[in-house]
Amino acid sequence: MTADAPRGVDAPPELVQLLTPEGERIEHPDYDIELTAEEVRSLYRDLVLVRRIDLEAVALQRQGELGIWASLLGQEAAQIGSGRALTDADMAFPTYREHGVAWCRDVDPVKLLGLFRGVSNGGWDPAEHNFHLYTIVIGSQALHAVGYAMGVQRDGAEAATIVYFGDGATSQGDVNESFIWASVFNAPVVFFCQNNQWAISEPLEKQSKIPLYKRASGFGFPGIRVDGNDVFACLAVTRRALQNAREGQGPTLIEAFTYRMGAHTTSDDPTRYRLADELEAWKLKDPIERVKAYLFKNQLADQEFFEKIDAEADALGKDVRSRCLALPDPPPGAIFDHVYAGAHALLDEEREQYLTYLAGFER
Amino acid sequence: MTTLTLAKALNEGLRRSMEDDPKVLVMGEDVGKLGGVFRVTDGLQKDFGEDRVIDTPLAESGIIGTAIGLALRGYRPVCEIQFDGFVFPAADQIITQLAKMPLRSLGALKLPVVVRIPCGGGIGAVEHHSESPEAYFTHTAGLRVVACSNPADAYTMIQDAVRCDDPIIFFEPKRRYWDKADVDLAAPGLPLDRARTVRQGRDVTLVAYGPMVKTCLEAAAAAEEDGRSVEVVDLRSLNPLDMDVLTESVTRTGRCVVVHEAPVFTGFGAEIAARVTERCFYSLEAPVLRVGGFSTPYPPSRLEDHYLPDLDRVLDAVDRSFAY
Ligand SMILES: Cc1ncc(C[n+]2csc(CCOP(=O)(O)OP(=O)(O)O)c2C)c(N)n1
């Protein structure tokens, strides 16, 4: 691939795929998966609902209700597939675009919106969902995940840890150090890299000369590339990697080969750096359309089912919107809350001084 | 004279530097086709090529570490750190290597590396995009630390920084990137290590740098309506500090208020307060006061207007100074 050619138009041969873009089910010798009709419908529902949350968030940003938003458009299958592979006991460490994984972990989407609206820098209790806080500094969370997994290992618990990051993040020292740690300590962790081909304006070629999944071998653990737009394959591959981790076989790097359909964030202008044909080529690989085609072809769902899901998505969109608009600004005193677990004299003094100063304006 | 935004003035300054010296390189994340997330490097790759305007891998320690190597080989890298909060992955290279290698070589090595950092808040961003990390770097001997506050200075300061043989941390006030002003592209500008009195006054000296200079000028204008004559000093250079301008000013006005966005506690203002007190003790009518952020992390954006010093908080401090 040269820097200017549309990337990902021809799927790389080593890609694990179980469902083609046309909705054909295909077999894989190592990674097959049995899914009931009900399970497939449920995956479809998740894909549609998280896309709707995302679209609503983009609209809210455009209307000035969110400062910024990092859209997951195009990456739904990678997130829902991997997210649904997790058991309740597993722990997930996201970056800032994992709205689909958050959905699988039952985090209220409005809490995600709150972060981008600027009412908090997090807003949920990670322990309640086994879904850690969003991390904005690229790559930091990879080391946290490995440390957490080392804790799980010491506790002898039946659980795995998964950490999400992008293609750009693989350049960071922290991510490379996390590979080393995971490898030498045989930590029960799965590295889930969503290779969406771009790190803001920089194509994958600016981060790596080799396919990302191959990085793993240099660190001494397996790497595997999966069709990131195929929810079945993402589910199957992640489930296996998590199981291996739980069974003491150590880490796996999964590279979900996918595409960022929108801008990097709502502040970005992708027309400055990427070609329109690339986008067109990837549209044909849409993660939702292929499950829909599969359900239709195999008569596992009828028109009524799809309408019902659409209606549910509409209702969810409305609900998310109205609750986002209703999010109040925190009171000024909140600046001083939760900075320390214990009492802190300087902070108490500053809080009192500032609130007194503010009260002066009311007189 | 031409009218430029601060971002464009930096862009023009970088362009001049690259034209003047083929050893000057620009490097960082997204600095090429995108022109940087703030477009400060817009068009440079088109005109100077990918060998001189380098889109780097997403790795800040890598950016500074390789810039050090390039400098050792005679190049003059100008590194962009995308946002203030992302300089920390590079802190090791900056603090343990960039700042100290010239000394280690007893002066045999020069490291003319500029580290550009868009800094400060006020743009409604998420975490790590609004910080003021200057104190970490002013505390590190071996670095020069400067902060521009307006387009004309930005234009000359960036060129002087690139020409300088020492490593420089170059702060750019991101919420002022879009402010416009006249820039004389032929004028040499004030030397990099000098402070400038940007407004004359008799009663109190406001000391600021970067984004807070504009806030202080607004406060000074408002104070004038109340009959107070406020002087404003733009430090420009934080390390070294131009104590001559400060001493002269405070000796005359007898009052001093330092304003910055970073937390007050062990912030850069503490250094100014201590030095001004030492130099001007017998002229001072009141203790040197500081206005800045709280001893908390930068808050979520819906609260940033409370955290950031504004005109009212500056005027309140001026009032307190007069109350002594
Ligand atoms: C340490 C650090 N440096 C720079 C940034 C600014 N930044 C935010 S996202 C991004 C690109 C990330 O690309 P990638 O890892 O591929 O993830 P994607 O957003 O494409 O999912 C950059 C450079 C950051 N957040 N953290």
Q: List pLDDT tens digits, range A131-140.
A: 999 999 999 9
| Residue A120 pLDDT > 80 | yes
Confidence at residue A2, expressed as pLDDT on a 0 to 100 scale: 42
Residues of chain A with C-beta less than 8 angstroms from the C-beta of B178: none
Handedness of CA A27, A33, A36, A39 (dihedral sign): negative
Q: Which residues pair with A135 in a beta bridge?
A: none
Query: Which of A211, A227, A327 is CA-nearest to residue A285?
Result: A227
What is the residue-averaged pLDDT of chain A? 96
| Residue B36 pLDDT > 60 | yes
The answer to whether B292 and B262 are in contact (CB under 8 A) is: yes
For the CA atoms of A260, A34, A163, A65, the dihedral, rounded to the nearest 10 degrees, stands at 50
Q: Which residues of A147-176 are buried (b: 16+ CB within 10 A; e: fewer)?
A: bbbbebbeeeeebbbbbbbbbbbbbbbbbb
Q: CB of B93 closer than 6 A to ligand 1?
A: no
Q: Report d(CA B40, CA B32) in Å as an integer.
A: 10
Q: How many helices (H) and strands (E) does chain A have?
A: 13, 7
What value does the mean pLDDT take over residues B153-177?
98
What value does the mean pLDDT take over residues A118-146?
97
Q: Is A28 part of the annotated catalytic residue set?
A: no
Confidence at residue B96, expressed as pLDDT on a 0 to 100 scale: 98
Whether residue B127 and residue A174 make contact (CB cut-off 8 A), yes or no, is no
State the distance from the centre of ligand 1 to the C-alpha of B58, rounded, in angstroms.
7
Whether residue A169 and residue B300 make contact (CB cut-off 8 A), yes or no, is no
Q: Which residues of B1-40 are buried (b: 16+ CB within 10 A; e: fewer)?
A: eeebbbbbbbbbbbbbbbeeeebbbbbbbbbbbbbbbbbb
Q: How buried is residue B69: exposed, middle or buried, by Cβ count under 10 Å (0-12/13-18/19+)?
A: exposed
Q: Nearest-CA residue of chain B relative to A361?
A: B312
Half-sphere exposure of A45 (CA within 13 A, CB side): 16
Query: Which of A284, A288, A317 is CA-nearest to residue A41?
Result: A288
Confidence at residue A1, expressed as pLDDT on a 0 to 100 scale: 39
Encode pLDDT of A191-218 as tens digits.
999 999 999 999 999 999 999 999 999 9
Confidence at residue A3, expressed as pLDDT on a 0 to 100 scale: 43
Handedness of CA A110, A114, A117, A119 (dihedral sign): positive
Q: Nearest CB to B57: which of A118, A171, A335?
A: A171
Q: Report d(CA A281, CA A358) in Å as an integer.
A: 56
DSSP codes of every residue in B73-92? TT-EEEEEPSSGGGSGGGHH
Encode pLDDT of B288-316 as tens digits.
999 999 999 999 999 999 999 999 999 99
Complex-level ipTM: 0.95
| Residue A4 pLDDT > 60 | no
| Residue B160 pLDDT > 70 | yes
What value does the mean pLDDT take over residues A110-114?
98
Q: Which of B128, B129, B260, B306 is catalytic?
A: B129
Q: CB of B89 closer than 6 A to ligand 1?
A: yes
Q: Report d(CA B150, CA B135) in Å as an integer.
A: 21
Handedness of CA B2, B5, B8, B14 (dihedral sign): positive
Whether residue A173 and residue B29 make contact (CB cut-off 8 A), yes or no, is no
| Residue B6 pLDDT > 50 | yes
Q: What percent of chain A has pLDDT over 70?
A: 97
Q: Report d(CA A175, CA B215) in Å as an integer.
A: 40
- Two tokens at A143? 């080391």
Q: Which residues pair with B24 in a beta bridge?
A: B76
Confidence at residue A7, expressed as pLDDT on a 0 to 100 scale: 65
| CA distance, residue B124 to nearest chain A CA (Å) | 6
Confidence at residue A6, expressed as pLDDT on a 0 to 100 scale: 58
State the distance from the centre of ligand 1 to the C-alpha of B312, rounded, in angstroms.
36
Whether residue B88 and residue A137 make contact (CB cut-off 8 A), yes or no, is yes
Q: CB of A270 closer than 6 A to ligand 1?
A: no
Q: CB of A198 closer than 6 A to ligand 1?
A: yes
List all residues 6 or more positions away from A255 whose beta carbon is below 8 Å from its beta carbon: A193, A195, A211, A212, A213, A223, A224, A225, A226
